[in-house]
Amino acid sequence: MKLLFRLLTLLFFTLTTLSANAQAPILTADAAILIDARTGQVLYEKNADKRESPASMTKMMTCILALERGNPLKTIAVSANAANVESTELCGGEWIRLGDLTYQMMLISDNGAATAIAEAIGGNVNHFASMMNEKARAIGAVGTHFVNANGMPDEDHYSTARDMAKIAQYGLRNKEFRQIVSTKSKQVHYERPSKNLPCTNTNHLLFTYDGAIGVKTGYTRAAQGCLAAAATRNGRTLIAVIMHAGWGSRFTEAAALLDHGFEMKK
């Protein structure tokens, strides 16, 4: 009888351990990480400290500084420099409030909007990049170095999956940040000339993944597909970061990582 009890006890703990350490998904991404947003506990990692190009995930930091250092009601005149950046809907001479510009940057990943925010808050892109780096160090993202506000390719512009997760985690503590990155679509209003620009979020998981609340996509030829994805289920929020993956597989692999995390026992 004692032997049977011991065998049953051993079986119970074996099954519990297997459940807690459910098989992690196989990822094609070059680097990835999954963390608990509340505690920062790492639930999965792959090359999490490898230096990678963050592409437009950079804009998470730009958004953080826009919210902490800027006035959303301030009207900004779009410079020719911002309007001439690759992949933007801006035109020189337009006037738009900082709050609307931040939505445009985060929802459709507008590179010119990020540049305009940098100029409005930092005076110029170089000084704003210094502000970004200072904030990154304060957050603990010590493997990161920014040279621009939008994530356009540059050898000196880099981060890691771990750092991107820390930046996303920090941002999600801000109510306004959470509101922006969870917005599926919005009509962004321009003051002069008066018009509305329809913006649909590039984060497909907001439309397809149960509990998705953000955060930011990224893609360049150098960086390939990147994604910082967050979701909340049963009061628990997880953050998955995918770097250097396929354009579409970044979404499926982030979803698989999140599923893996939610299936694990706390």
Domains parsed from the chain with CATH numbers: 27-263 (3.40.710.10)
Give me the sign of the Cα torsion angle 241, 245, 251, 256. Answer: negative
Q: What is the pLDDT of residues 18-67, one digit of tens each?
A: 333 468 899 999 999 999 999 999 999 999 999 999 999 999 999 999 99
Q: Give every CB contact of residue 8 below 8 A, 6+ residues apart in sequence.
A: none
Compute the chain's Rg from CA coordinates. 20
pTM equals: 0.90
Average per-residue pLDDT for the chain:
92
Catalytic machinery residues: 56, 59, 109
Provide the Cα torsion 151, 209, 214, 231; round to 10°. Answer: -120
Percent of the residues in the chain that have a pLDDT greater than 90, as a whole number: 89
Q: How far apart are CA 149 and CA 153, in angstroms?
A: 11
Query: What is the mean predicted confidence (pLDDT) over 220-226?
Result: 95
Whether the Cβ atoms of residue 218 and residue 58 lie closer than 8 Å to each other: yes
Q: What is the pLDDT of residues 150-189, one digit of tens each?
A: 999 999 999 999 999 999 999 999 999 999 999 999 999 9
